[in-house]
Every structure is written in structure tokens, then in C-alpha cells.
Amino acid sequence: MTEIHIVGTAHVSQKSIDEVREAVDTYNPDVIAIELDPGRFAALKQQMKEAEDAANGVEPVAEKPESPEVKDLLKGNFTLMLVQWILAYVQRKIGMNVGIEPGAEMKEAIRLAEERNIRVVLIDRDIKITLARFWGGMKILEKIKLIWALMQSMFVDDDEDDDAIGGIDKISIDELTNPDIIEMALEEFHKFSPNGARALIDERDAYLAHGVIDLQRSHYERAVVVVGAGHVPGITKYREDPSTLPPVAELLARPKRYPWGKIIGGLFVVMFAVIILAIAFSGATELLIWAIIYWVLLHALFAGVATLLARGHPLSAATAAALAWMTSLNPFLAAGWFAAIVEAKMRPPTAGDFKAIAKADTIGEMFSVPLFRILLVAACANIGSMAATFCFFIFLTPLLGVDLEMMTQILMTGLTNLWQFLTGWI
């Protein structure tokens, strides 16, 4: 049995870096397990190499990675990619305010392992699977709340009070390893997003516990395990009763995605078609013309303005405005796709955009990266188009200058005439 020593850390705390160093010095382990997956481990190693080269005055090796294909990105869940980037930005912002780089305690564990020839074991779940289960498991209201909270976090000023992310100080960060603070924070996150918390915390507790228990049963003598403090209670619970652990295969399964967006979009298309046909067969020609005009204008206004708010190119906004009325009638198309393609033509993404997004220290820097702005344009144009569809149905009667009773009468007359036409034709 391997002797296990768990170090619970806050990912942007100098205290946590010191605790990792102290644990390695004290226990002299022959293996260090860290809360990383292969992808994030490789990214941290690359950052460490770049920092070392810069310190030694070594010029970085010129790389020629391929520029990202926007069409390929749009085929995937680009909204989730935006959320991931914003989450990383918020963590970097906290780190800047306390003078600690995010993941610094993991880098310290890696550095010590390499320096002392200690084996490193990666025990976290693939970040892509975690994010897919996180986003796929959340309800629509949870997603809206999360995006709103992230947007608030992005734009808060560093000079604001200590309750804001920009004002977090060293003391409050160090308190993130306090068990009482951890318990309170986890409870709040579970209230804020029960399904999101399950994927980000509960499931990863179980996956990390699998790694720790496997390590405990291995041939090593002593192991230091470096994980976020929020995972320590869950890991401890599973170590005390391994029979409660869910199978690894269950934790790695990709969530089933149901095309709710296409289903809801299809319902709106049917509703629009029924309303237009009913008005047409009621004989209210002027009303029909105005209904179509308002459908086009609302979608043009909302999609175009949303694209401009995302700092999209005027031609991108014009594209969204021109096509939103039509793409809203097809659940398999989206105005944001076309706006993003135009944005990519006007402001092409570069091979270094992914790295630039990862290093952005301010919201202005994030928006200046073409790839970030392209995907933001796609998301905002789609949101604007959807908002226009909702507004059309909610405000249909006042837009057309008729009351609800008159509109009901027009629709009933039109549907009756339509039914008579169809039955007579058949």
C-alpha cells in the first residue's frame, strides 16, 4: 500500500505553492500525482519552457501552425469554447490581482518532480469530456445564469470593492483552502447550477478518487497528491468507502445531445407559417404584408445590433441583418454562421490566435483577437435572431395594431378558410 499525502490547493495562491514545496520536502515521495489531464499538462509544460527560455535569453523557435478553420469551429459547440475561454480569463484575472499565475502550484509540483527525478502521474479527467458533460448537463436557465455571471466578471474593474472578482486579495484567496470556506463555496455553486456542479465537482471528485485509490494500491512507497482544495472532501469520502465510486466508463461517457434547439426552432417555423397562412386566407392582405415586414425588420435589427455589440465588422452585421429573417425559418441554418464567415473574411484569424486568447490580460486584448471576435459574432448574431423571433410572437398584436380579440377572429377565419380550401382541393 502506498502512503498517500493529499495537498489541497487554491489555484492562484502563493500559500498553495509553499504547501506543495513543503509536502515534497517533508515526505520525499517517489511519485507526485497532480490534478491535470494530458492536454493541460502539455500546455503547462510549454508555458514553463517558454518562461525558462525567456529568462535565459533564448529566442523562441519559430513555429508555423495552421490558421484555424472557422467553418470547422462553427460545426462544433463554439458557444462552449467561448465559455471555456472566458472561464480561463476570469481565473487569470484573479491570478493577476494576487500576483500569482493560475496553475502555479501545479507548475511547482512538476518542477520539483523533474528536479528530483520523481515520477509524475496525471489523475484528472480530460478537460474536453468535463466541459462537454458540464455544458450538456446544464439546463437552459443555468447556462443563461452562467454566461451572465461570466460577462459580469469580465467587465468588473480592478478598483471595485473586495466582493468583486477584480478586488480579491491575497487573504481571501488563501482562505479558499479553509474547509469551512470550501464547504460554503461548494454549497453555493450547487445552488447556482446543480447540473454544472455535478460535472465540474462531483464527477471529478470521483474520477480523481479513482486515480488516488489506484495509486494507493500501487507499488510506490509514498505519494504526494496535489489537487484543488474543493475536491479534497469528495476524494476523502470515496477513499473511505470505495464501493460508492461510480465506474470510470460512466464518468468518461459523452453526454447524449438532443436537438432541442432544432425542435424548438421547427415549432416556431410551423407557428409562423400557420399565422401567415391564416392571415392570408382571412383576406387581411394589408395585415399580411405588415406581418412579413415586421418579421424581416425585427430580425434585421436584433441580429445586426447584436453583431455590432460583439464588435463585429459592419459587413458582418449587414450579413446577419440581411439573412436573419430567412435563417430563422430554417432550424438547420443560423444567421451567426454567415456573419462569422464574413467576419473571418474581413478580419482573418491567425495561427497565433489560440495562444493570444490564452495570454490575454484584459477584456480589450480578448476582443482584439480575431478568432475570439469571430466566434463571439456567431454567438451574438444567433442570440439576436432568437430574441427577434420571441419578440415577434410576444408582440405580434400590438405590432400589427390590432387587439387580441380581433387577431383571434382573423386567425380563426383564416384557418377555417384554409381548411375548406384544403378539403375542397383534396
- Three-state DSSP string of the chain: CCEEEEEEECCCCHHHHHHHHHHHHHHCCCEEEECCCHHHHHHHHHHHHHHHHHHCCCCCCCCCCCCCCHHHHHHCCHHHHHHHHHHHHHHHHHHHHHCCCCCHHHHHHHHHHHHCCCEEEECCCCHHHHHHHHHHHCCHHHHHHHHHHHHHHHHCCCCCCCCCHHHCCHHHHHHHHCHHHHHHHHHHHHHHCHHHHHHHHHHHHHHHHHHHHHHHCCCCCEEEEEEEHHHHHHHHHHHHCHHHCCCHHHHHCCCCCCCHHHHHHHHHHHHHHHHHHHHHHHCCHHHHHHHHHHHHHHHHHHHHHHHHHCCCCHHHHHHHHHHHHHHCCCCCCCHHHHHHHHHHHHCCCCCCHHHHHHHCCCHHHHHHCHHHHHHHHHHHHHHHHHHHHHHHHHCHHHHHCCCHHHHHHHHHHHHHHHHHHHHHHC
Q: What is the mean pLDDT of the chain?
A: 82
- pLDDT digits 0-9 by tens, 71-109: 667 766 667 777 777 777 665 665 444 444 557 889 999
* Per-residue pLDDT at 170 exceeds 60: no
- pLDDT digits 0-9 by tens, 345-400: 999 888 888 888 877 777 778 888 898 899 889 989 999 999 999 999 888 888 88
Q: Whole-structure pTM over 0.85, yes or no? A: no
- pLDDT digits 0-9 by tens, 267-311: 888 988 999 999 999 988 889 999 999 999 999 999 999 999 999
User: Lowest-confidence range among 51-60, 119-128, 212-221, 372-381?
Assistant: 51-60
* Per-residue pLDDT at 123 exceeds 90: yes
pLDDT score at 248: 94
What proportion of the chain, given as a percentage, has pLDDT over 70?
81
